[in-house]
A and B are shown apart, each in its own frame.
Chain A
């Protein structure tokens, strides 16, 4: 047997070697694939966020008409006694007429002329929601009757779309809900400063609106509902999660039952969220009989989902506290319980809170289980004050997004994206607090 390799002629290290060059090329290719993958990952993030921002930022501005409305006592208070019951009998139709009269007057006063403009065109410039808003303000303050008050009233959704570039003169020709004349009128009003796009507070505070009034749809009920749920989730999941972690980490004996609990927790962390929705529907609504669409049910479901996250984080935090601390406490005669509650737990607190905030952030964005427990319902009334308000129907931020995407009017796409921006702002704040906590209190032993 001969050793072929040993007899190979010696090559210089400097000599170019075709095979090595080939191998180095394949090395460079591999590296390039890696770089491309990273780029794809980053590009996906950028595209995702820019798609939301691009579609959604405009929802924070809303087209409004600035109109002096004469609140005619003859129309609004026929008996002239300012009796709230009688005032309430005047419907929005009455207020609607006042507003369109005001707009008519404004058009003539400012000398705006648009050829072929009908009175229906003028009337439809105003959102169907506007009369209700003014009615609400008058009922709250009957002294306004008889005066001429300057109101900012919502413009129709299509006019809003025109101001934001969603509706154009071409699409308007094919659209039965808006006429080209109205768009010209909007331009003219804008020029005179009667039509403007201020910051859209209503988007954040107002409740949802019907399918036909996207301009009035807001997140008020959804934000309140989400806030209620987060409060309950925090109040329930933090103590239960911490207590469970303390038991498992510090007290639990090595036995079958402990194993069962551990396996359960790690599996619950991986159960699809929709399954929790089924649980909520079957147990909390059908079996226990809690009301549908109520924040309490959503919160209970989200609590069960958040628990594994909090337990895993808390156990990691407890584990990170060195045994010497425990021994020191035990050494001065503290009971095990005292050593944990007086020394270990406070030291683990930053880690626990960070985990809790991250768990809450997950819960805030969770949608699927809430769909099943009826939070898709159309809710216009704000839930009451807690604790009774926890049982009132409400919406939730992510579900509101889903709700809006299911509607036909493209204006709701803008609203849905805007709602996501609000949701993401909350998430950023929460994660920022978590990072801050970790930075501020992180300890290396």
Chain B
């Protein structure tokens, strides 16, 4: 039974429950709706919810857990000898899944009957060739145990699907029947319905918490996995980054961290002064006409996707810097460089800094400005010596937020900074960042269970904690600052 059909049936049951509930309470109240505790709709809604929501939740949980359970059971069928030299269980399991899919396709195309499948043996048939004909290319011949595991996997999946459909439908019918039985004119349908809705509201708000846990656990597990394969000491203290296809990689984080910080530093060097001056000029000096035009125009920069900035770095800024600065000055010949990425990222951050500082500067009370003007200070003296120091904590918070953006930014550095992991000072040289390496390690062809791929999770973990710390500090600073003037 396909998933969408199952969902449709559950929904249909819900609708039927709605109609039944209305009919039943109407009959119980002898058609007099005033005798009901709640509006008649609530009786229907309640039955609808009981018939659908638990069933659908069950369905979701089942879909989430089924692969885990089946994987566990099937992988126990494999012997240690089935795992090739240098491979891992998870790789063999992915083969098992692919073979199972291939067998499905073969059966669906009629090339293989169910009966033939049960007697299919690696010794007697060219399983690899047959699978190849339906687009499942395997690196080596299929081993007996692997094929058996694949068959078991296929079988269990089929069974699991059937059981799932049955359980979900049962849950739906049960929900419908139980809630239907409780119906009576005195049944507090509105209260029940509202409690149910409230539970849904709470569940929705827990999604954010779940997401954070998801992020933490997914990175934590794979990072632990990584540190089992690769010494943590090397990762945190090695100064070289040199992943190899065939083992023996050096995966030190320092060159990446250096590149990240260098690019972010250049970006902040561009964004902070310009953004700050834009905020000051637009809030303190600009005419109303300029402000109504320039403010949204600069905010457009914030709405442009980073891929556009990446392309800008790649095709315009990079070649420009190379031809007019790096090469004449003899500083390098690469169009992707720290400078390219930093400059473009700086542009991206300008509206971020300017709108945050704008808020902060306008939070400085007018009375301070008046006090300064009253003493005969010029506007710039007032801004530099009174407004700016008063707003400083908030501006520091804004800069920290911008820094966390810069550190986590991906597309601009992927397209503008380059891929060479280096600990250099020349800003016109290509360097690489944590985010670039996360992308390249996870989109490359290396095996998933190798340290070269798993390192991306450790890098992601570092990135997550780094930006989290910056954000938390920034939020605390800004909040303190706000309280000062409230």
Contact = CB atoms under 8 A, between A and B. Distances in A.
A275 B408 contact: yes
A356 to B, nearest CB: 15
12 contacts: A38-B298, A47-B312, A266-B475, A272-B404, A272-B463, A273-B408, A274-B463, A279-B214, A282-B218, A283-B218, A368-B410, A431-B303
B308 A372 contact: no
Contact of B274 (A37, A274, A427): A37
B219 interface: yes
Contacts of A51: 312, 315-316
Nearest to A26: B380
A30 B67 contact: no
Nearest to A248: B205
Most interface-central of A37, A260, A413 (chain B CB within 10 A): A37
Interface stretch (A73-81, A101-109, A417-425, A436-444): A417-425
Range of interface residues on A (Cβ < 8 Å): 35 or more
A246 B6 CA distance: 30
A191 interface: no
Interface in A270-313: 270-279, 281-283, 286-289, 304, 307-308, 311
B468 interface: yes
Smallest CB-CB A-B distances: 7 pairs: A272-B408, A365-B305, A34-B281, A282-B218, A37-B277, A243-B204, A368-B410
A275 B460 CA distance: 6
B379 A27 contact: yes
A270 B405 CA distance: 8
Contact of B278 (A24, A26, A38, A304): A38
Interface stretch (A2-10, A132-140, A198-206, A397-405): A397-405
A387 interface: yes
Contacts of B438: 274, 278, 372
A265 interface: yes
Nearest to B404: A270
Interface stretch (B193-201, B249-257, B322-330): B193-201
Most interface-central of A38, A279, A281 (chain B CB within 10 A): A38
A314 to B, nearest CB: 11
Given A243-B201, A401-B307, A278 B286 contact: no
Interface of A: 23-24, 26-27, 30-31, 33-38, 40-42, 44-45, 47-48, 51-52, 55, 239-241, 243-244, 246-248, 251-252, 260-261, 264-268, 270-279, 281-283, 286-289, 304, 307-308, 311, 335, 337, 361-362, 364-368, 371-372, 374, 376, 387-388, 398, 401-402, 405, 413, 416-417, 420, 423-424, 427, 431
Interface residues of B, number: 96
B116 interface: no
B207 A337 contact: no
Contacts of B380: 26-27, 30-31
B64 interface: yes
A41 B378 contact: no
Contacts of A35: 281, 285
Given A44-B347, A261-B208, A268-B211, A387 B4 contact: yes
B23 interface: no
A305 to B, nearest CB: 9
Contacts of B4: 387-388
Interface string B306-339: 1111111011100000000000000000000000
A268 B212 contact: yes
Given A27-B380, A287-B68, A34 B280 contact: yes
Contacts of A38: 277-278, 281-282, 286, 290, 294, 298
Contacts of B351: 41
B212 A48 contact: no
Interface in B410-462: 410-411, 414-415, 435, 438-439, 442-443, 448, 456-457, 460
A98 to B, nearest CB: 30
Contacts of A247: 198, 201-202, 204-205
Contact of A274 (B64, B221, B350, B439): B439
A402 B401 contact: no
Nearest to A427: B303
Given A51-B312, A246-B201, A398 B305 contact: yes
B300 to A, nearest CB: 6
A121 B396 CA distance: 64
A368 B207 contact: no
Most interface-central of A48, A244, A260, A337 (chain B CB within 10 A): A48
Given A244-B204, A278-B438, 16 more contacts: A35-B281, A51-B312, A244-B208, A251-B202, A267-B468, A270-B401, A270-B404, A271-B408, A287-B67, A368-B414, A368-B435, A398-B305, A398-B307, A402-B307, A405-B310, A427-B305
